[in-house]
Amino acid sequence: MRNNLAVSIVGFVMLAFVALPNLSSAATVDELQVQISALRAQIKSLQEQLAVAQQGTTQQWCHDFNVNLKIGDFDAVELEDIYALHEALVKEGFSFPSKVTLGGQRSFDEETASAVVGFQQKYKDEILTPLGLKYGTGFMGPSTRAKLNKLYGCGVPVKPTSITVLSPNGGGTWEMNKKYTITWKHNLAGNFEAWIDLLKGGTYYGSIVGGESVRLSNAQNLTSYSWQVGNMKGGVGEGSDYQVRITYRDLNNTAVILTDTSDNYFSIVSTVQPSITVLSPNGGEKWEAGKTHTITWNQNKIDKVTIYLMRMSSLTEDTIAYNSPVSPDSQTGSYAYVVPQNINLADTYKIWIIGYQTGVGQANDWSDASFSISLAPISLALGDVNKNGRVDIGDSLFIAQYVIGQRSLDSSQLIAADVNKDGKVSTNDAKIIAQYDVGKYTSLPVNVKVGDVNKNGRVDIGDSLFIAQYLAGQRTFDAIQEAAADVNNDNQITQADADTIASYLVDKIKELPTPYVVPATTSQNDNTSLTQMASALQSIQDIINKIAESLKR
């Protein structure tokens, strides 16, 4: 084998040197370069055979395909790959009746392209299907080269080329006439065109870029494109099954190099209109005047709101907020509203909210049903009957005036006035406050156990005796004892109180009057007994005397 190979090499070299003078005299420079490249290819092939022969082993033929080829290629740079392509195609079972077609050299002609189509169909799952193609193109691009290198490459790893759509890649909603950025990535080098197509339901819908539209040429460094949705021939309709396909083609648009499509569908919708829905108050709530209540709502595409409080009796409104800014990206909104103290409590109300999207439009919503507003319970300090923020002789005067019917007290004042916690408001409470004001008591309430007049912690016959002695002028009572002795709640101490205690002790009465009782407001027209009136007037006189004493101090 070595001798035969040596003879072949010597013969080839001699033939080459004999032929060169003739070629140089008749050929053009371009033709000479083609012929030189052909000689280099033959030399490389012989060198590979020689290396195998010298090692005494058999080496499989190999070639690394690094150049894209198409019909018409035949220049010096591509010639080695054309030779190698022919060899590979022959090994794959494709024949070439005529390999020499141009200037005595091999070229990428129609026969070659036809064989490449056959090769691509043979390995379509690896070459065509990933590109979304059903039939071979005859163009030897990256996918075809990758398969050739896999079969016949010399072992040098070839980095696979790829393209990947990043956005839109499934999910999400794009609005008509708004601009969105289509993005992708790739690792392809060289010059090519980028085409961007819109698919609907997996089928071609139209070209965003490419076809009759502008093409993105020399797109080696291109990875994004800003698209105003709908800006394409024929327009775009609403739908939830759209995809984007990026395709790289050669500059002559003869073959697909790489392509990728969104993994899943995304939606295209008409411009979203603003919407708003009142959540609270939405009917049945009870607000309190003077308190802060929160108005809440759901919103979409809203950047400012106007809020009204609607009076349902007259369908008139009070403005709560006017063109108040809100976040257009938020899906919810709220507003803290302080209900006026002087609001009409007899009416019922609804909330009306108008939401605006600047430059687009507005939406509005009302509470589904009415809600009411009432006065908030006022919490007064015990003894602060006149609501001036402190406990003093003025509170005693208020109580005394209430007892004789010259003043009315609201529910919070009645609670504050019962400083002895005997369940009623009487002159005893006025006396305790007067004594508290001059320091006899240091804290309120001054608790009273009804019936325990002698302060021994229980109700017994001794309490009846104390009352009898008091009525006979043999004993005096302090304010606590006076409140404890008035067991029948008539605002005076009489023999009837002593009799009530006696009845209680023999179980004729199961319990003494201890629950809170709000006495009816009296007036000067009531049939008040002279004894009660005299007692109340004496109490007021005592209070006035205390006021005089405090002024002297």
**Of the residues 248, 269, 290, the one at which a domain ends:** 269
Compute mean pLDDT per 10 residues along the chain, 553 residues long, and list them: 45 45 50 62 59 48 84 64 84 70 64 90 92 89 90 69 89 89 83 85 88 52 86 87 88 72 92 89 94 95 95 94 93 95 92 91 95 79 89 93 91 88 84 86 82 90 92 88 82 87 83 46 41 54 59 54
In a domain, 6, yes or no: no
Cα 136 to Cα 145: distance, rounded to the nearest angstrom: 13
3-state secondary structure of 225: strand
In a domain, 128, yes or no: yes
Instruction: Say yes or no: 452 and 439 in one domain.
Output: no
Q: Is the preceding omega at residue 515 within 30 degrees of 0, hence cis?
A: no
Which alpha helices (DSSP H) does 157-201 contain, by range? none
CATH number of the domain enclosing 360: 2.60.40.10
3-state secondary structure of 21: helix
In a domain, 520, yes or no: no
Instruction: Say yes or no: 453 and 438 in one domain.
Output: no
pLDDT of amino acid 528: 43
Tally the domains of the chain.
5
Task: Read off the tokens for 237.
Answer: 């309709």
Instruction: Say yes or no: 459 and 510 in one domain.
Output: yes
The DSSP annotation for 58-111 comes to ---------S-B-TT--SHHHHHHHHHHHHHHHHTT---S--EEETTEE---HH
pLDDT of amino acid 7: 42
Instruction: Say yes or no: 455 and 417 in one domain.
Output: no
In a domain, 201, yes or no: yes
**Of the residues 424, 445, 466, the one at which a domain ends:** 445
pLDDT of amino acid 159: 57
pTM assigned to the model:
0.34
In a domain, 190, yes or no: yes
Measure CA 338 to chain center: 28
pLDDT of amino acid 524: 39
pLDDT of amino acid 261: 94
Instruction: Say yes or no: 352 and 433 in one domain.
Output: no
Per-residue HEC secondary structure of 312-329 comes to CCCCEEEEEEEEEECCCC
CB-based contact 404:537 (threshold 8 Å): yes
Task: Read off the tokens for 261.
Answer: 């499509």
8-state DSSP, 149: H
Cα 318 to Cα 309: distance, rounded to the nearest angstrom: 5
Instruction: Say yes or no: 482 and 409 in one domain.
Output: no
In a domain, 231, yes or no: yes
CATH number of the domain enclosing 436: 1.10.1330.10
Cα 385 to Cα 373: distance, rounded to the nearest angstrom: 26
**Of the residues 390, 417, 445, the one at which a domain ends:** 445
In a domain, 12, yes or no: no
In a domain, 548, yes or no: no
The position carrying tokens 């049903």 is 369
Instruction: Say yes or no: 144 and 170 in one domain.
Output: no
| Domain extent at residue 347 | 275-375
Instruction: Say yes or no: 293 and 343 in one domain.
Output: yes
Task: Read off the tokens for 331.
Answer: 């899906």
8-state DSSP, 69: B
Cα 364 to Cα 273: distance, rounded to the nearest angstrom: 12
Measure CA 494 to chain center: 75
Instruction: Say yes or no: 246 and 285 in one domain.
Output: no
